[in-house]
Every structure is written in C-alpha cells, then in structure tokens.
C-alpha cells in the first residue's frame, strides 16, 4: 500500500531517526538493574541465614547468569513490544487517514492567552 502524502508526516513520526544514538543508561538499563538485583538477592539470602557474604560462592555465578539471561529476555521483549506497537499504529494511520490531518502551525502568541501578573 502506497503511503499517502497527507499522512506521510504521521508515518514519519514513527520512523526511527538514523542519527539518533541511544545513551548508555537506556542502552544498558536492563543489565544495570537486573544483574545487581540477582547478585543482591544472593547476598540477602546469605544475610538472612546468618552466613558470611561469600559463603556458597557458586550461587553468585548462578545469580550472574540468571541476571544476564533475564536482562537479555526483558530487552528483547521491550524491543519486540515497541516494534509491534509501532506497526499497529502505522496500520491504523494507513487505514484511517481522515483522523490524521496535518496540524496547522501556530505561534506561541496564538496558543497562550494574555497573562496579566497580579502584583
């Protein structure tokens, strides 16, 4: 289906920008949160059992692997759900172009009401 010129602006809003570079926190957010949470859970279990922090050292390796796997799964799920959402929105825009007319450009003077400060 060809993209109509009247809705091209709406489709372009959903198209990712090639020059956008994701920052480090949003790129590695899942790893930053889930790996320390899994390792912290292991430390917490040792604390609850009144054991030294580095007792059962093999649990830390298992917690690290679980944290990395959980981070990969959640990142993949987030990417998949965002792309699915965008494809649904694109399809809706193409099926209902009458709902997506190009908005008229306004200046701030037209949008804001006159404001008189109370002194």
Nearest to 92 by CA among 11, 38, 29, 6: 11
Distance in angstroms (rounded) separating the CA atoms of residues 35 and 68: 6
Q: Which helix (H) or strand (E) segment is 97 a member of?
A: none
Query: Residues 92-107: what's their mean pLDDT?
Result: 88
pTM, two decimals, is 0.75
**Torsion sign, CA atoms 102, 108, 112, 114:** negative
DSSP string, 61-108: HHHHHHHHHHHHHHHHHHHHHHHHHHHHHHHHHHH-GGG-PPPPP--H
Answer yes or no: is pLDDT of 43 > 90: yes
Answer yes or no: is pLDDT of 1 > 70: no
Tell me the pLDDT tens digit for each residue of 50-72.
Answer: 999 888 899 999 999 999 999 99
Nearest to 59 by CA among 73, 74, 41, 32: 41
User: What pLDDT, on the 0 to 100 scale, is given for residue 99?
Assistant: 87
- Residues of the chain with pLDDT > 90: what percent? 58
User: What pLDDT, on the 0 to 100 scale, is given for residue 5?
Assistant: 79
């Amino acid at each position: 289906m060809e993209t109509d010129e009247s809705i091209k602006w709406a489709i372009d809003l959903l198209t990712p920008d090639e020059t956008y570079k994701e920052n480090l926190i949003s790129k590695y957010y899942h790893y930053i949160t889930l790996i320390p949470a899994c390792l912290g859970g292991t430390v917490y279990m040792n604390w609850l059992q009144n054991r030294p922090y580095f007792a059962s050292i093999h649990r830390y390796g298992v917690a690290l692997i679980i944290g990395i796997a959980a981070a990969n799964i959640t990142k993949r799920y987030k990417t998949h759900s965002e792309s699915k959402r965008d494809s649904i929105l694109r399809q809706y825009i193409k099926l209902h172009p009458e709902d997506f007319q190009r908005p008229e450009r306004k200046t701030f003077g037209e949008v804001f009401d006159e404001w008189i400060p109370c002194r």
